[in-house]
Amino acid sequence: MSDTGHRLPAVESESALLPWLLVALRPMNRTRVKQLLQHGRVTVNGSPISRHDHALHPGDRVAIRNSKSSPPTKVLLPIVHADEAIIVIDKPSGLLTVATENEKQDTTFVRLSEMLAALGAGRPFVVHRLDRETSGLLLFASTAEERDRLQENWDGVEKTYLAVVEGRPRWPEGVVENYLKEGNNLRMSSGGAGNGGKLAITRYRLVATRGANSLLEVVIPTGRKHQIRVHLAGLGCPIIGDLAYGAKTNPARRLGLHAWKLALKHSVTKQRLELESPMPTRLWKK
């Protein structure tokens, strides 16, 4: 029997099935996970498994079958955090956040919506976006009210990125502040405050240099389209792979930008929430 439904992340170490599922299917509760096993909706390497203590081995393929027969769907997105207010996933490079005219079927929003629907966990609401080739932390709201609150206070969310750039900035740290405006070619350019430009502030710090490239830590108090890409290119250090903004090299075969950290005050707990996504080794090996 072949897997149908939602494939879970690859098994990386020895484990019993139930405890592994409790981690892979967070925030689904224990009772719901047991029901999936009981009803034969969990498959391992294509075969339905109902035993809680079934042994998993590295490389095993685990999937959740839909309640009705259907073709295979996309691989589930890694969930970094989920609760009654927000959902934060680790977006891979190459995947759009939301649909465009040319791509409507396979986006982060579609994948997450399908996943939550299958788990009976509601639906996501888009708060912000990452460029297709940017990887890392992407935040969704669990309700429309939470989405509106987050968007209204978005500049208060701490957003930290890691960028691999060509060359090395003249100064090891600094601030770029100007106004960005979108042109008819959909690219952003810097200029003055007039003609619809929006204030964009980028803080950067040199972390390391290796050969012809540098690794920068970047904090953006504002969140404008292509902000980091435009500002780093303006320093003479375009992000690797960013041919639209002047990069000459593409060693990682993707944009060298990763949404590394998010920090915000949680609307329900009122506590500070700090989240992190490890830098892909494809971009910068330690």
User: For residue 141, which of 219, 102, 84, 182 has the smallest C-alpha distance?
Assistant: 84
DSSP assignment letter at 133: T
249-253 long-range contacts, CB within 8 A, separation 24+: 249/166, 249/212, 251/213, 252/164, 252/282, 252/283
Cβ atoms of 204 and 217 within 8 Å: the answer is: yes
Cβ atoms of 221 and 231 within 8 Å: the answer is: no
Angle ∠(72,57,284) on CA atoms, nearest 5: 80
- Among 3, 60, 131, 242, the active-site one is 131
Cβ atoms of 56 and 62 within 8 Å: the answer is: yes
Q: Please state, in angstroms and rounded to a whole number, the distance separating the CA atoms of residues 6 and 118.
A: 8
Cβ atoms of 126 and 231 within 8 Å: the answer is: no
> CB atoms < 10 A from the CB of 78, how many?
14
Alpha helical stretches, state H, the chain: 17-24, 30-38, 108-119, 144-152, 227-234
Q: Please state, in angstroms and rounded to a whole number, the distance separating the CA atoms of residues 151 and 122.
A: 20
Number of alpha carbons in the 13 Å side-chain half-sphere of residue 42: 25
Residue 131 designated active-site? yes
Residues recognised as catalytic? 131
